[in-house]
Amino acid sequence: MDSGKSTYIAFDELCQTDQSPSDFRFCATIHRWAAEKDSFDVRYVDRQNKLYAVRNSSLRTTLTTRIREHLAASRNMLVILGNETRKSGSLLCFEIEEAVDNFNLPLIVAYIDYKAVADPSELSGYWPDPLRQRINSETARAIHIPFNKHAILDAASQFTSSNRPLTGLNHYTEYAHRKFKCITPDVPFGNCIRLKRLELGK
């Protein structure tokens, strides 16, 4: 990993005061994984700060400045998406816009509802509007992955502003999915939805 560079984690706080139903719980899981690897560092804006900024316009200016500072010190952005992620109106949308338009960061798009991602275009219903627009206009460079510890750590260590995915619709191969233990040998390779609630400790 480049010295002093981090992975910025972007998620939708879903306007929840309790972190349990919000996407922040996945951010906390990645933070635990990062603690296991000295070379992996993460940055994100706390869920409560996002909530306060959404409700108080005077705080939003301060928070957007902090987001830009974090992005300037990051090598890539991990975008956490679920079936409740909002298409517009969240600070996640602003984070995506800034990461692509002003900081040239590669995006690692992780889907919490999927254990394998073989065709990202079929998952466009999950994309916030700024992500959809930038993938369609080919300004975003992204790899789409399942929410899996090994896939996330691999992508975070690999992609930088000088080593971005070739397009906005990249994904890992079947071999990589099986290496990362995303799917078992008996499961055909394809977009594979989780049949039970994601176990965050794995």
pLDDT digits (tens, 9 = 90+) for 74-133: 999 999 999 889 999 888 999 999 999 999 999 999 999 999 999 999 999 999 999 999
- Is residue 84 domain-resident? yes
Give mean pLDDT, residues 149-155: 92
- Is residue 201 domain-resident? no
Instruction: With H, G, I as helix, E, B as strand and everything else as coil, classify residue 146.
Output: strand
- Residue 101 structural domain: 6-193
Q: What is the CATH number of the domain that holds 14?
A: 3.40.50.11200
**CB of 12 closer than 8 Å to CB of 25:** no
Task: Name the pTM for this structure.
Answer: 0.87
Which residues is 155 bridged to in the sheet? none
How far is the first Cα of the chain from the last one, in angstroms, to the nearest whole number? 23
Q: Domain count for the chain, please give it.
A: 1
- Is residue 199 domain-resident? no
Residues near 100 by beta carbon (within 8 Å), at least 6 away in sequence: 107, 130, 134, 139, 140
How far is the C-alpha of 44 from the C-alpha of 12, rounded, in Å?
A: 12
Question: Taking the CB of residue 152, how many other CB atoms lie within 10 A of it?
Answer: 25
